[in-house]
Structure 1
Amino acid sequence: MSADDDAPDPIEDAATRWAIEQDAGLSDDGIAALEQWLGSDPRHPPAFEKARAAWRFMGHPAIRSEVTQRRLSEPPLPGYPPVGRPEGKRKWIAPAVAASVALLVAGAIGDWPTALRSDAMTATGEQRTMTLADGSQVQLNTDSAISIDYQPDRRIVHVLKGEAAFSVARDPRRPFSVEAKGGSTTALGTRFIVDRHADRTQITVTLHSVRVAAPGAGASIAIVKEGQSVRYDRNGVGSVRTVDANAVSAWTRKRLVFVDQPLRAVVAELNRYHPGYIGIIGTDLGNRRVSGIFRTDNPVAALDTLQASLKLASIRLTDRVIFIHD
């Protein structure tokens, strides 16, 4: 798990700041500052249009009004121009870009390109277990997809996105391999988890061993045994390390286990299971250490537990969009 994988993009952050500022009404200085920002980088205009579309999608009047009123009721942040009302004060919750985009993608567009390529797929917060033709089992985690390519002499499953746990039926005549982002994991009579991220893939073995191969400048092959994990990316296969496989596989039992993790990493993981967005206001708060066990099928209840144990408050724009703060 890595909070960095789910961290908001700074350009999208700024774009949604401006989209909501424009919706609330910009002063002359604000309009000039927006135009300057749009012209300062060719990536800014498309990001701004995407943010405007996302904000419109979120656009239940009560939600939009509450965000705007909260923003106008607090002292202005340094470095940002005032909004249209000269007397207005504001506070912007930076991670709202992730909320807007997540809601737009999950609620309106969906991942149709992946859906067309997949043989099995889960939505956000959904988990699914399926038995393949050879008796092997695959458990898909939230927002995951696979395609299946069984041939007379081989068995291949492609992880198109997300995370999947495999329990492989033995068949010496037909090797079982899982492919993701150019790499391949071949079962040696085993149970293992493949977690595909945007920039890397992580393999964790919970029983017996696997052979992991990937092209790149680094090591190209590694044997990973029970209780071990390895990552590969465009640079090749990394170093094999010992992990708590029981904790890594906890999601297969609808649990998430955290031991002395920063709150931002915990919230990033909860966001994988929440059909909306959970954000943190404040860098220092995101660094606070957390240990606990939470259920994957009720991320809002997990957040309630975190709030109570850490004595935090929250802003809830319905249970779909939640910001926690001191």
Structure 2
Amino acid sequence: MIDISKDIGDPESASDWLIALREQPDDPALEQRFQAWLMADPGNRVEWDQTQRTATMLAAIYDPMADNADGSVPMSGNGSGPPQQSGVSRYRGRILGYGLGLALALLLTIVVVDPFSSLGDYETHTAESRAITLEDRSEIVLAPNSSVSVSFTSGARIVSLHQGRAFFNVTSDQSRPFIVNAGTLEVTVRGTAFAVDMEDGDYAVAVAHGLVSVTAPGLQEGPYPLRPGEQLVLQASGDWKNSTVTLQKIAPWRRSQLIAENEKLESVVDELSHYFKGYILVADEALEHELVTGVFDLQQPEKALNVMARSHGFQVRMISPWIMVVSRS
């Protein structure tokens, strides 16, 4: 059991109370404090009712039997949270092991907190991209939720990609190599255009024009050369693959496009989540493995998912302005 006093302290919001009451349903002192909180301010009652309605709607999606005739959230003991159920939640990862009620409460609690941590000289947040012109007139375009640091010396131009994705259009300078560090990956060029992605321990480098050299543990001895139209993918497991890629598919996010060719829905949702200021949850784990093909507008995640839903037999529901749920029809 989670130690409420340690994890969230004294409940202050409706979502805090949802967690506390779900975790300690038989604590009369907690129930008394909850009732006092409800009566202390009319706004607390409004906030609690809204939280209850959201919990009910989400519970109904995960388990249609969870609906109560009066629209309230099913109680456990004398508590005020939904019953414990297993469920899978998706937002660049999973929320497992807490049961649906607590998972929802955690979402309600942390959704207003920006998960991005500032690490570099330049950064972007959800649904934000940014073009940066460096002192040598090279250009970096950052995808959402990305961060880089820049260090130029007389002998080298070094950019560190701390998280996310970036496209580089590098001005030629034979006396100063342009080096991109991303985790344990190092990409060296002198004048070219290429993209670097890093997420969850996986890396990808794709070349639009020019030549690049890649070094990484386990790749090979010495730099690995990449030519225009080639893409190198290195997985967290240590596996790697070199493949061809069309120019259209190199960093299509620069054009606000998501290009999917037999991609798993979970991967598509992960991509769309960078453009949705909230949570996208997939209520059916098997649904995550549905294959999706098409070109979609990243700036309109709900519309993109609804287009997929029409051809794949699932539905998309906006539970609140910041919770979108994908489930079977």
User: What TM-score do you get using the length of structure 1 for normalisation?
Assistant: 0.71
1:228 aligns with one of 227, 230, 242: 230
Q: Percent identity?
A: 24
1:176 aligns with one of 175, 178, 191: 178
Distance 1:164 1:288 in 2: 28
Q: Tell me the alpha carbon deviations over residues 168-188 of structure 1, each in whole angstroms, 9 at most, x when there is no partner.
A: 000111111101112210114
- Say whether 1:108 aligns with 2:116: no
* SS of match in other structure, 1:179: strand
Distance 2:133 2:189 in 1: 16
Distance 2:286 2:237 in 1: 33
Question: 1:61 offset after TM fit, Å?
Answer: 3.2
Could you say which residue in structure 1 is the equivalent of 2:43?
A: none
Could you say which residue in structure 2 is the equivalent of 1:95?
A: 89
8 Å CA contact 2:169–2:193 kept in 1: the answer is: yes
- Per mean C-alpha deviation after superposition, the further-off stretch among 251-260 and 285-294 is 285-294
- Say whether 1:135 aligns with 2:137: yes
Distance 1:201 1:101 in 2: 30
Distance 2:106 2:299 in 1: 22
Counterparts of residues 47-86 of structure 1 (less than 5 Å): 60-70=47-57, 71=59, 74-75=64-65, 83-84=76-77
Q: Which amino acid aligns with 1:94?
A: V
- Per mean C-alpha deviation after superposition, the further-off stretch among 151-160 and 192-201 is 192-201
| Unpaired segments ≥5 residues, structure 2 | 1-6, 8-16, 28-45, 67-74, 96-102
Q: Which amino acid aligns with 2:65?
A: P
Question: 1:24 offset after TM fit, Å?
Answer: 4.7
* SS of match in other structure, 1:171: coil
Question: 1:20 offset after TM fit, Å?
Answer: 5.9
Distance 1:193 1:24 in 2: 46
Question: 1:192 offset after TM fit, Å?
Answer: 0.5
8 Å CA contact 1:204–1:245 kept in 2: the answer is: no
Distance 1:25 1:253 in 2: 46
Q: Which amino acid aligns with 2:112?
A: G
8 Å CA contact 2:87–2:283 kept in 1: the answer is: yes
- Per mean C-alpha deviation after superposition, the further-off stretch among 277-286 and 228-237 is 228-237
8 Å CA contact 1:168–1:189 kept in 2: the answer is: yes
Question: 1:131 offset after TM fit, Å?
Answer: 0.8
8 Å CA contact 2:234–2:240 kept in 1: the answer is: yes
8 Å CA contact 2:168–2:195 kept in 1: the answer is: yes
Aligned CA distance change for structure 1 residues 105 and 248 (closer, same or farther; 3 Å): farther
Question: 1:63 offset after TM fit, Å?
Answer: 4.7
1:212 aligns with one of 210, 214, 238: 214
1:255 aligns with one of 254, 257, 276: 257
Number of matched pairs: 272
Could you say which residue in structure 2 is the equivalent of 1:276?
A: 278
- Per mean C-alpha deviation after superposition, the further-off stretch among 179-188 and 227-236 is 227-236
Q: Which amino acid aligns with 2:56?
A: Q
Aligned CA distance change for structure 1 residues 217 and 253 (closer, same or farther; 3 Å): closer
| Unpaired segments ≥5 residues, structure 1 | 1-14, 32-58, 77-81
Q: Which amino acid aligns with 1:205?
A: V
Q: Between Structure 1 and Structure 2, whose CA radius of gyration is higher?
A: 2
Question: 1:85 offset after TM fit, Å?
Answer: 7.1
Aligned CA distance change for structure 1 residues 239 and 259 (closer, same or farther; 3 Å): closer
Q: Which amino acid aligns with 1:230?
A: L
Counterparts of residues 291-302 of structure 1 (less than 5 Å): 291-302=293-304
Q: Which amino acid aligns with 2:113?
A: A
Q: Hey, which of these two has a bigger chunk of helix by percent? A: 1
Could you say which residue in structure 2 is the equivalent of 1:51?
A: none
Question: 1:247 offset after TM fit, Å?
Answer: 1.6
8 Å CA contact 2:147–2:164 kept in 1: the answer is: yes
